[in-house]
Structures are given as C-alpha cells and as structure tokens.
C-alpha cells in the first residue's frame, strides 16, 4: 500500500507542477514523470539509506520516491530560498545530500560517470553501498554512457544502471536512435555486464527485479543493467504536446490503460488488501500534502541577491 | 475538491490564448488527462488537458474569446460542491522584479595624436604641481611620457643608480626644499612636552627583562602616529584642486649624513606597535647611514619628523618636504625650572615645533593635533 | 635541496598520498607505465593499484568518475596526459565539477585536482600544442594554477589537493626537466598569491608557467642595457592576485604581459583589463602583450619558433613600453 501512496504522491505532485508551470510559477524546463512512477517507487524502495542515487533531468519522481520533503521540492521548483538547493538548482538539478540523492543532471548521459565515481569511492573504502543510476534510453548511445559501462565492467563497480526506456528521446523514438533497440539492455551485455528487463508499469515487478539486481550488485561487487519498459503520458516537457507531434493519441491512450496506479489499485482491490475507503483516504491525504507543498512554496521568499555569489566556492 | 482551469502559458512568448473550441460541456464528467478545450497559442493550436478529475462545473469563457495567460476559464469540481470561493480571481503569479541592467557605455576611442600626456604623467603633474603646457612630449603623437618629466622630478622610482643619487643628494635637497618653501605657505606652532614619564619608559626599556629597548625618538614617532590617527587632516597633501588625505601613516625620519640628510620612511605607523616601530626605525636608520636604502624607502612620507635633540638645540622649525603637509621639529629634553602648585621645581621639558602647510592645515587644527600628541607622549607607558 | 620540476611534483604527490588516504591518482598510464612524463614514478610500488589507477582512453569517463568519487568523499588527482585531451572532458569539468556545489546550494563539494602539461613542447603539431588556461579561467567554480618553478610546483600542488574546490593545475612538458631549489618537507604555497620573481623599477613583466623563464632571461639581458625589469609571476591564474600585480604596475608605470596562448580573448587580455581598472592613472602607456601567434601550431620548427614568444620578442616589447627605438 505504501508503494501506491508513493506513486500517488508523485502523480498528484507532477499534475500540480503542470498547473504551476502554466501559471508561470515554475519556469524554464519542466519534465514530468507522469506514467513512469512505478519505476522510481519500485526501485528506490529496495535501497538502503546509505546507498547513492543519481538521476537525469526528469528527477522529481526519483527525488520524492527517495523521501525528500515535497514542500522543499516544490519550493525549489518555484525558485525560492527554502528549496532543496536554495533556489539555485531548479527542476533539473534537485539534490538532497542527506538522503544521498546526488542530483538531477541536465546533460544527457553526463551523470553516468559520476555514478560510477560514487561506486568507485564505495569500493575504495571497502564499503557495501550501491549506486542506483537512473537514465533514459536516449542516453544509451552517448559516449559518456559507453565509457561508464566499460569502466564499471572493467573495475567491478557496484552500480545498478537503471535504464527507463519510455520509447522516446524527446521526439525521437528508440528505434531511430539505438541500434540495439529491440533489447536495449544488450548494450550492457556487450561489455559483459549482467542485464535484465522488466515491465516498468508494474511496481511490484519493478521492485522484485531491482531487488534481485541490487543483491547481485551488492554481494558480487559487479554492475548490473536493468531496462525498465515504461511510458510517459505527457510530452517530453511542458512545451511538448503529449500526442499529435510524434506520438498518436491512440498510442498514448493504449499506454494509459496500463497506468501503474491503476494496475496496483486493481490488484490491491482484487486481492482485498485494501478497500475503496482506503483509496479515498489516501487520495485526500496526498492531495492535502501536495496542496501544502504549493502553499509553502508560494509563501516562501525568493533567494536574496546578496547570496548570489554564495556557494560558488568552498571558502 | 474544486480546481481552477486556467489559460496556460505554454511557451515563453505566449501572453494570451484563444479558446477555439470547448470539447467538454458544463456538467460533463471529466477525468484527469481528458482534453477540455482546444487553445490557439502564438505558435499552434494545442490541447488543454484537465489536471483534475470531476465535473466541469463552469465554463467561464465562450469559444472564440482571447484571454491572457493565467486567466480563469473554467472550474472542475464535485457536482454538489460550493464553488463560489474558487471563482474569485486568483492573484497574479509573482515574479521577482526585473532588474534593469545598467548599460555600460563603451569607452570613447582616443584619436591618434590627441593624447597629450600619459595617465601617469597627469597624476605626477597633479601631485607635484607641474604645468604640463611647459613640458615637451617625446612619445608617439607628442605624448608627454614619464621620461619627459625627469628634469622636473626627483622621483626615486625613476631608473636611478645608487651612485648617481648620492652625488645628487645635495641638489635634491636644494630642489625639494626650494620647491617646498617658495610655493608652500608655512606657519609654525610650538609646544612644550613634559618628558618625565617618557624618560622613565626609556630607562625601563633598557633593562634586560624588558621586551625591547626604545628611545625618545621611538616614543615621539609612536605618539605622532597616534595623534595622526585622530587628526587625519594633518596626514594630508595639497593636490591642486583637492586635498588628498592619506589612508596610511608613513612617517619620514630625517637622518643626518656626512654630506647632507636623508629621510627614510617608516611605513604604516598607524598599525605598528611601539616595539615594531623601534625595531624598524633602528634598522632603517642603520641602512640609511650605510647608504643602503632603495629609492622607494626614502620617498613619499606623509608626515615628517626632524630631531635635533642630540645637538642640544632648544627648538627650531623645519621645512616641509612634499608630499607631506607638516613636519615636526623636535628639540632636546632639558632640565628646566617649572611651576607646580605655586612652587618652582625641577622638570624635564622638550619643545616641538610643527611647521604646517596653511593650504591644508589651519592653526586650530595644528594646535589640536599637538595637544593630542603631547597627551600621548606624556602618557608614554600607554604607547 | 635541488630537484627537477617533475621530481618536485613526485615528492609533493607522494607526501599528500601518504598524509591522506582519500587522495588517489587516476589517469592514463599513471601506474605501470610510471606516468607518461614520469611524474608518478614509483607510485605503484609504494601505493598499489587501489590508489594509483590506470584508465582506458576515456577522458570524459574517468574525469566524470573522479568527480563522482569526490562528491562521495574522496580527493582524486586526475592526470590528463595533456590538457589538449582535457577538451574531451570539458563537459564533465565545466558542467559538473565547477557547478555541483552551486547547483546543489552548497550540499556537495568537488575537491578534485585535474593536472597535466598544458602548453607546447617541440613540433608536436596543432592538436598537441595548445595553451587553454583562458578557457578554464573563464568558469566560476574552478580554480586555475600554473606554477613555473619546482619550488612553486611542490607547494602549490599540495595546496591544490587540500583545497576543497576543483583545481585545474597546469604544468608544462618543457618544465618537467628544469631544476631548482625545492624546500624540504611539508610546505604549502597558498593559492591566489603572486610572487615578484625579480624586483625592478623600470617595467613590469607579468608571465606564468614556461613564459616565466623567458621573462627572466629577457630581464637578465635587459639589465645589461641598464633597464631594471620587475618580473611578477601570478602563479595562480584564477583567482588572480591583482593586488600584487597592480602594485607592481603602479610602481613602474609600464606593463608587458607574456603568454603562450592565442591572443584574442587570451588570459592576458583579462589581466590587462583588470590592471586598467586599478592603475590607469599610473600607466605611462598602454599595457602591451606578447602572445602566441593567432594560428594553429604549425609543425615546421622555424614556424613553431615564430609562434611561441621568445626572449627577443619580449625585449622588443619592453623597448616599446619604454619608448625606446
């Protein structure tokens, strides 16, 4: 049930972000995670607090799944001083050091070497933490990705490379971008990295697959590449329509039939693990939480211009 | 829970949009993600999706209307909900005020041949009161460059070989003092200082247990520095259109040599302890007597002290050397009869005379400075 | 104690690695090969492969890895075989190393040193002969250091390693064999402090890295003409010690800046602008620059010699600054 609550939090939060962006309270780029919640929630649920997480620019869901305070996430999106990064990061650069959420990165593929670096540090110190690195299938062809996979395999770095294949790199479908598109995980297998695939819309399946993968990574000190097949219900970002440009409405509607929230809810109801009242209650709680986060963000001050040059250097 | 349907801002440049067609009717059930309407933006016609589920309670804007981004165009809620409150206009989104960037105007290009004098030359001329119209420039386009001022200056940072400087010393003193005495209106103020405490401090400092030994001169320098800090108008210079007040206290100490005199400069006296002053003065004077000072070390004093005390001189007045505006001439410490409580007794007194540049310093200011100086020197222990 | 520039670095890195277990060296051929320029000679034997890490030819990969390791608490020293190859890793250096601290609102720091040779040697051609310090100096969040002497190299690399910020540390192939006095034991030179390498009164020469040696040689020759040149070595390029540079400029009134890189938008242009802001009224003429010629580095020896500033060009510039024919 807590998985459902987490996914619902992300869903409602992201919906509110869309509204806030249209109102002009969130600026710049805003990449929403709607439809992909099962991957973040199922995966992060397996981690220990001392494990590390790296993500790309579609990071609201990962950050919330890790337990960051929605108020501080929304405040960061609003660019306020009370945000996670004091308003200096923004949507694509959410960071929560306390929870080892290492960011939020905007250069496609650019954060994969960083993830490998954190794993290197773990191994250097003889620890058993793992690094969970989220990225999209669009990042797989980048040089940084291949260099990282090679290094991870070569040196046995404890990284779980979690590829969220939502089939589109902005407007380009995977079959036009990745040579091995039919099974993207083969890219990793090419480096001798153990790989697997999972239905990214089914949160329980994701959790199971990630659990096995993390076990492999933690105990064998070897990397693992897990491809999660998922779908984003909205466009690449707020400026991009959800269909009509490079996706058909029919395709999007078809995907929505396997909405991760719907799948889990149906299963929980069928297996009588939860009731309609439970779902109504949770819906209300989540809506309240999200509303509070907007109110908090709205009431928060903007960062002072006096602090503009703070945090450029460690003094 | 009711939610607002707002005309969105879908691109950076979108200020307003047109509701082309409503795809749902008032009273119709909508689910989050359903298309509510078609909106024409500045770029294309896009679908407006619902962000919430419920009933489309109200359509507030008819088809074909243009509304600004952010305007309320509909309400979604439960069929029986009270939506009056949510129908009141929402506050406009707040944005930090746009900062007007100050335009930086590009520097005006200087035409060939128009540059009369280099910036350094202009500054030197101003400081020394040199009339540039009387100087011929040898630089490109007739530019007056530093070298052209050489005959008019005794700048120590000119390339000067030590030997040359020494043989020029007499000429330099002549030039400096003539340059000073003629144009600078001097006036003089004399006071007498009770040196009893000062002598005691000097004696005690000679003991092996003392931190360092100090002389009367060191006390005088320290007291002068203290007084200059409180009276910054004395630590200044006449600069033509302005009076330059120096932020650092650099005290020049006149040192007698066989064939003349040299004025080594103790830098930044305001920030030094008595012990530091004593150590540095001793080192400087030794080097001065050994003719071992670099040019930079004996120019540019902001205040001067000349002490003829060792020659048993009661008092005298000295000539101010630029760029300073004052010089303190110190006589010897003498045992003299003094009156205390109506009785005559033996006392220690020393006369000092302050020569001042009247363009920078007035009589009252000079007197006040000397008062502070005396106060500090008579409490020598606190220096 | 006399040592070469390369030995000074070897010593300093060794001492830092002994002092702090978090410090490790990573780069191409640093371990078994003993370092492309032998800076890490003997390291594998003393520290083992855990702390001296050979990498494949993957600059973005291993630079980014080092940055991630720094974020997770280690203190990597990344050796780039030359800074020409660092161009590949620019995305990691500029978008990650320089910005992580700021973007995260101070939650993370990147205590990383990226070091290697950063100017021309002899006839290595256009892709191996670049001086790119201006690129790194442009980026807030980075510090840039370019020592010219063995003494400075040792003291500055220690400070760079102990600094909690990303430091780009630029050495030079042709400096590695140069000899000089190196202090014994543990000493550091603070970043951001310039040094007057030769005091003078007539003109200020500002030069760093290899060009410092050219400046000093020119100063020697000019002394025979009776010209007393003051040579100032910035040592740290970002942040620049403008106080020392300006004091010298103010004293002499004449400034010549020497740099090996290309002229347009080179570092000397920034130094000149900064000095104009501070000492305009004390300049006897415009600030002059002697720079590499505005071309990709040619192969032919005579052409290459014409590109790189040499003693004669420096002397000519000094004469020009002093208005001598």
The 10s digit of each residue's pLDDT in A220-270 is 999 999 999 999 999 898 888 888 888 998 999 999 999 999 999 999 999
Cα–Cα dist A118/A51, whole Å? 10
Residue B350 counted as domain residue: yes
The pLDDT tens digits of the residues spanning A28-47 come to: 999 999 999 999 999 999 99
- Enumerate the residues of chain A whose CB falls inside 8 A of the CB of residue B69: 22, 24
Cβ atoms of A96 and A120 closer than 8 Å: no
- Whether pLDDT at C55 is above 80: yes
The pLDDT tens digits of the residues spanning A53-107 come to: 999 999 999 999 999 999 999 999 999 999 999 999 999 999 999 999 998 999 9
Cβ atoms of C236 and C200 closer than 8 Å: no
* Whether residues B225 and B328 fall in one domain: yes
The CATH number of domain C195-321 is 3.60.21.10: no
Neighbours of C, requiring at least 3 CB pairs below 8 Å, are A, B
Instruction: Give the end of a domain, one of B68, B84, B100.
Output: B84
Confidence (pLDDT) at A242 = 85
* Whether residues B132 and B242 fall in one domain: no
Supply the ipTM of this predicted assembly.
0.89
* Whether residues B303 and B368 fall in one domain: yes
* Whether residues B261 and B373 fall in one domain: yes
Q: A114 vs C107: CB contact, 8 Å cut-off? A: no
- Whether pLDDT at B268 is above 80: yes
CATH number, span A2-293: 3.40.50.970
Cβ atoms of C228 and C202 closer than 8 Å: yes
Of C63, C18, C52, whose CA–CA distance to C168 is shortest? C63
Coil, helix or strand for B217?
helix
Q: What is the pTM of this model?
A: 0.69
* Whether residues B78 and B144 fall in one domain: no
The conformation of residue B144, written as its DSSP 8-state character, comes to B
Q: Is A302 at the interface with chain B, CB within 8 A?
A: yes
Phi, psi of A296 (to 5 degrees): -60, -50
Cβ atoms of B328 and B224 closer than 8 Å: yes
Q: Where are the alpha helices (DSSP H) in B94-161?
A: 119-128, 146-149
Cα–Cα dist B126/B242, whole Å? 10
- Enumerate the residues of chain A whose CB falls inside 8 A of the CB of residue B70: 23-24
Residue B225 vs residues A164, B205, B299, B364: alpha-carbon distances, Å: 74, 20, 18, 19
* Whether residues B141 and B247 fall in one domain: no
Q: Where are the alpha helices (DSSP H) in B150-215?
A: 162-181, 196-205
Whether the CA torsion A174, A176, A181, A186 is positive or negative: it is negative
CATH number, span C2-181: 3.40.50.970
More confident residue, B110 or C125: C125
Coil, helix or strand for B138?
coil
Of C201, C281, C323, the CB nearest to B122: C281
Confidence (pLDDT) at A167 = 93
Q: What is the CATH number of the domain that holds B137?
A: 4.10.320.10
Q: How many domains does chain B have?
A: 3
Q: CA of B71 to nearest chain A CA: how many angstroms apart?
A: 9
- Enumerate the residues of chain A whose CB falls inside 8 A of the CB of residue B2: none
**With bands split at pLDDT 50, 70 and 90, how would you rate the model's confidence at B65?**
confident
Cα–Cα dist B320/B276, whole Å? 26
Residue A117 vs residues A149, A253, B47, B278, C21: alpha-carbon distances, Å: 12, 40, 43, 59, 17
Cα–Cα dist B338/B349, whole Å? 9
Coil, helix or strand for A186?
helix
Residue B108 counted as domain residue: no
Of B6, B46, B51, the CB nearest to A241: B46
Q: Where are the alpha helices (DSSP H) in chain A?
A: 2-22, 37-44, 60-65, 70-77, 112-124, 143-155, 186-189, 203-220, 249-256, 260-270, 276-299
- Whether pLDDT at B159 is above 70: no
* Whether residues B140 and B195 fall in one domain: no
Of C121, C42, C135, whose CA–CA distance to C82 is shortest? C121
Neighbours of A, requiring at least 3 CB pairs below 8 Å, are B, C
Residue C73 vs residues A50, C247, C297: alpha-carbon distances, Å: 13, 40, 40
State the average pLDDT over residues B186-209.
92
- Enumerate the residues of chain B whose CB falls inside 8 A of the CB of residue A233: 33
Residue B99 counted as domain residue: no
The pLDDT tens digits of the residues spanning C110-160 come to: 999 999 999 999 999 999 999 999 999 999 999 999 999 999 999 999 999
Coil, helix or strand for A193?
coil
Residue with tokens 């205590």: C111
Of B336, B338, B340, B341, whose CA–CA distance to B314 is shortest? B336
DSSP B316-359: ------TT-SEEEEEEEEEEEEEEETTEEEEEEEEEEEEEEETT
Q: Where are the alpha helices (DSSP H) in B20-135?
A: 84-87, 119-128
State the average pLDDT over residues A169-194.
93
Q: B119 vs C282: CB contact, 8 Å cut-off? A: yes
Cis, peptide link before residue B323, omega less than 30° from 0: yes
Q: CA of B27 to nearest chain A CA: how many angstroms apart?
A: 22
Cα–Cα dist B258/B261, whole Å? 8
- Whether pLDDT at C230 is above 90: yes
- Whether pLDDT at B169 is above 70: no
Of C67, C74, C101, the CB nearest to A114: C67
- Whether pLDDT at B114 is above 60: no
The conformation of residue A205, written as its DSSP 8-state character, comes to H
Cβ atoms of B67 and B73 closer than 8 Å: yes
Confidence (pLDDT) at C269 = 98
Intervals of CATH 3.40.50.970 along chain C: 2-181
In C, minimum Cα distance to A83 occurs at: C105
Write out the H or E segment, with its range, that includes residue B228.
helix B216-230
Q: What is the CATH number of the domain that holds B370?
A: 3.30.559.10
* Whether residues B201 and B327 fall in one domain: yes
Write out the H or E segment, with its range, that includes residue B68.
strand B66-68
Residue B146, domain extent = 119-152
């Amino acid at each position: 049930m807590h998985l459902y609550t987490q996914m619902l939090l992300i869903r409602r939060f992201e919906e509110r972000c869309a509204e806030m962006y249209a109102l002009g309270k969130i600026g710049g780029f805003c990449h929403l995670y709607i439809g992909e919640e099962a991957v973040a929630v199922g995966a992060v649920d397996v981690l220990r607090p001392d494990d590390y997480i790296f993500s790309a620019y579609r990071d609201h869901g990962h950050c919330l799944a890790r337990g960051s305070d929605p108020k501080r996430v929304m405040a960061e999106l609003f660019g306020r001083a009370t945000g996670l990064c004091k308003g200096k990061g923004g949507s694509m650069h959410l960071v929560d050091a306390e929870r080892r959420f290492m960011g939020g990165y905007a250069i496609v593929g650019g954060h994969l070497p960083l993830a490998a670096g954190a794993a290197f540090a773990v191994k250097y110190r003889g620890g058993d933490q793992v690094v969970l690195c989220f990225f999209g299938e669009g990042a797989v062809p980048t040089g940084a990705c291949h260099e990282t996979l090679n290094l991870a395999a070569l040196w046995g770095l404890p990284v779980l490379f979690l590829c969220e294949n939502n089939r589109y790199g902005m407007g380009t479908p995977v079959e036009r971008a990745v040579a091995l598109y039919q099974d993207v995980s083969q890219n990793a297998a090419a480096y001798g990295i153990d790989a697997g695939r999972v239905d990214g819309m089914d949160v329980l399946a994701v959790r199971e697959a990630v659990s096995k993968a993390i076990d492999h990574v933690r105990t064998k000190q070897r990397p693992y590449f897990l491809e999660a097949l998922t779908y984003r219900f909205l466009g690449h970002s707020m400026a991009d329509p959800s269909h009509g440009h490079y996706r058909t409405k029919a395709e999007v509607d078809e995907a929505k039939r396997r909405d991760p929230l719907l799948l889990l809810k149906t299963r929980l109801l069928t297996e009588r693990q939860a009731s309609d009242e439970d779902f109504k209650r949770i819906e209300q709680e989540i809506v309240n939480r999200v509303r509070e986060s907007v109110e908090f963000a709205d009431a928060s001050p903007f960062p002072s211009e006096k602090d503009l040059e703070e945090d450029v250097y460690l003094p | 829970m009711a939610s607002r349907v707002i005309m969105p801002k879908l691109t950076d440049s979108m200020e307003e949009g047109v509701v082309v067609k409503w795809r749902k009717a008032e009273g119709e059930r909508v689910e989050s993600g359903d298309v509510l309407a078609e909106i024409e933006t500045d770029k294309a016609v896009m679908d407006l999706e619902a962000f919430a589920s419920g009933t489309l309670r109200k359509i507030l804007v008819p088809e074909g209307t243009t509304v600004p981004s952010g305007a309320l165009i509909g309400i979604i809620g439960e069929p029986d909900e009270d939506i009056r409150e949510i129908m009141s206009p929402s506050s406009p989104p707040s944005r930090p005020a746009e900062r007007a960037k100050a335009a930086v105007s590009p520097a005006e290009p200087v035409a060939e041949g128009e540059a009369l004098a280099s910036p350094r030359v202009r500054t030197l001329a101003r400081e020394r009161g040199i009339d540039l119209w009387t100087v011929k420039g040898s630089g490109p386009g007739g530019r007056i460059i530093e070298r052209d001022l050489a005959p008019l200056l005794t700048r120590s940072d000119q390339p000067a070989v030590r030997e040359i400087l020494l043989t020029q010393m007499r000429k330099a003193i002549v030039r400096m003092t003539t340059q000073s005495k003629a144009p600078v209106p001097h006036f003089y103020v004399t006071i007498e200082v009770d040196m009893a405490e000062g002598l005691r401090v000097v004696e005690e400092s000679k003991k092996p247990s003392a931190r360092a030994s100090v002389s009367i001169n060191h006390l005088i320098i320290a007291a002068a520095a203290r007084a200059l800090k409180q009276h910054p108008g004395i630590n200044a210079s006449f600069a033509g259109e302005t009076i330059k007040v120096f932020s650092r206290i650099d005290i020049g100490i006149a040192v007698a040599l066989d064939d003349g005199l040299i004025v080594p400069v103790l830098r930044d006296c305001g920030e030094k302890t008595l012990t530091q002053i004593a150590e540095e003065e001793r080192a400087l004077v030794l080097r001065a007597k050994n003719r071992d000072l670099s040019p930079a070390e004996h120019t540019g004093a902001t205040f001067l002290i000349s002490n003829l005390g060792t020659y048993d001189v009661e008092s005298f007045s000295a000539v101010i050397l630029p760029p300073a505006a004052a010089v303190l001439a110190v006589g010897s410490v003498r045992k003299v009869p003094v009156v205390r409580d109506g009785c005559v007794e033996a006392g220690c007194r020393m006369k000092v005379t302050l020569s001042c540049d009247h363009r920078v310093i007035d009589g009252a200011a000079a007197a006040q400075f000397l008062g502070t100086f005396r106060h500090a020197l008579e409490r020598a222990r606190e220096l | 104690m006399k040592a070469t520039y390369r030995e000074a670095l070897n010593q300093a890195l060794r001492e830092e690695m002994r002092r702090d277990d978090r410090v490790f060296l990573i780069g191409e051929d640093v371990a078994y090969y003993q370092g492309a320029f032998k800076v890490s000679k003997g390291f594998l034997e003393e520290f083992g492969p855990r702390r001296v890490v050979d990498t494949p030819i993957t600059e973005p990969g291993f630079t980014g890895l080092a940055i991630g390791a720094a974020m997770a608490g280690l203190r990597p020293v990344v050796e780039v075989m030359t800074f020409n190859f660092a161009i590949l890793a620019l995305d990691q250096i500029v978008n990650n190393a320089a910005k992580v601290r700021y973007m995260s609102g101070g939650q993370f720091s990147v205590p990383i040193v990226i070091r290697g040779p950063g100017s021309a040697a002899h006839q290595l051609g256009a892709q191996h002969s670049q001086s790119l310090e201006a690129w790194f100096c442009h980026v807030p969040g980075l510090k840039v250091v370019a020592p010219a002497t063995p003494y400075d190299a040792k003291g500055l690399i220690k400070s760079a390693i102990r600094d909690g910020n990303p430091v780009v540390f630029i050495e030079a192939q042709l400096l590695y064999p140069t000899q000089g006095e190196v202090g014994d034991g543990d000493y550091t030179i603070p970043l951001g402090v310039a040094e007057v390498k030769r005091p003078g009164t007539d003109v200020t020469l500002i030069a760093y890295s290899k060009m410092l040696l050219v400046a000093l040689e020119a100063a020697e020759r000019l002394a025979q003409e009776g010209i007393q040149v003051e040579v100032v070595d910035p040592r740290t390029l970002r942040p620049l010690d403008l106080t020392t540079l300006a004091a010298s400029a103010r004293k002499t009134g004449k400034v010549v800046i020497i740099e090996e890189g290309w002229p347009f938008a080179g570092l000397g242009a920034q130094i000149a602008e900064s000095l104009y802001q501070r000492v305009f009224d004390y300049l006897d003429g415009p600030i002059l620059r002697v720079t590499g010629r505005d071309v990709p580095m040619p192969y032919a020896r005579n052409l290459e010699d014409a590109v790189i500033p040499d003693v004669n060009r420096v002397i000519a510039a000094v004469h020009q600054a002093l208005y001598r024919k």
